[in-house]
Amino acid sequence: MDKILPSLLAGDFANLGRDIGRMEAAGADMFHLDVMDGQFVPNISYGLPVIEAISKVSNIPIDVHLMTLQPDQFIEELKRMGVAMVSFHVEATHHPHRLIQKIQQNGMKAGIALNPHSAVSELEYLLPDLDFVLIMTVNPGFGGQEFISQCVGKITELDGMRKAHNYQFDIEVDGGINDETAAICRDEGANLFVSGSHLFKAEDPAAAISRLRG
Ligand code: DX5
Ligand code: ZN
């Protein structure tokens, strides 16, 4: 099923509770929370204390996107906060399979994110175990960037592998997602749509969310 995930990175950090309520009222399915460490990506966003505060007021599930080195160190805490889905970057860990297992053993869905330069073939032997794959359609680290269209081919490729092997993973897209780019990604097989600046700039977020659903 298609889901729309507002990225709170585009929210007003001094008024997150208000923005959470607005996006829930507008029909958001889940919140997407971007954790950046200033090492794996050239920016710092927010960390565990802010995720915990958000988890206490959110009425919809939370998807955490770890853009950090050593992502394995956060898993138990995210479980304690009731997070539903966690993704980490294949470029950021030496033992992605072990980390998938750790996330799942902690009762959460496990996803791997691919930077624009990374090939789907990196995931070939992980796909049977993954709950979702996050295709980055911008370079991670900042909201408001332009969609990189070369990444679309990776969705097509993943969808083909999913069909060929009857795998069950979802395909999430993140970066520069608006009505037009969501439609392009949906046509290739994506079903989880992260949207930050586009949704938060919308005058009518409910209408914007329903347009993103296609
Ligand atoms: C970028 C983040 C995204 C970001 C998307 O590093 O992973 O989740 O918030 O923002 P937009 O939708 O503005 O490209
Ligand atoms: Zn993200």
pLDDT of residue 165: 98
Identify the nearest ligand to the CA of 176 by its number. 1
pLDDT of residue 204: 98
pLDDT of residue 190: 98
Q: Indicate if the pLDDT at residue 178 is higher than 90.
A: yes
**pTM passes above 0.95:** yes
Q: Which amino acid is at 106?
A: N
**pLDDT averaged over every residue in the chain:** 98
pLDDT digit string, tens, across residues 163-175: 999 999 999 999 9
Query: Which domains can be identified in the chain, with CATH numbers?
Result: 3-212 (3.20.20.70)
Which residues are tagged catalytic?
34, 174
Is the CB–ligand 1 distance for residue 89 below 6 Å?
A: no
1 — pLDDT class (breaks 50, 70, 90): confident
Q: How far is the CA of 139 from the centre of ligand 2 (A)?
A: 10
pLDDT digit string, tens, across residues 116-146: 999 999 999 999 999 999 999 999 999 999 9
Is the CB–ligand 1 distance for residue 11 below 6 Å?
A: no
Identify the nearest ligand to the CA of 7 by its number. 1
Segment 57-63 shows an average pLDDT of 98
Distance CA 198, CA 214 (A): 15
Is the CB–ligand 1 distance for residue 143 below 6 Å?
A: yes
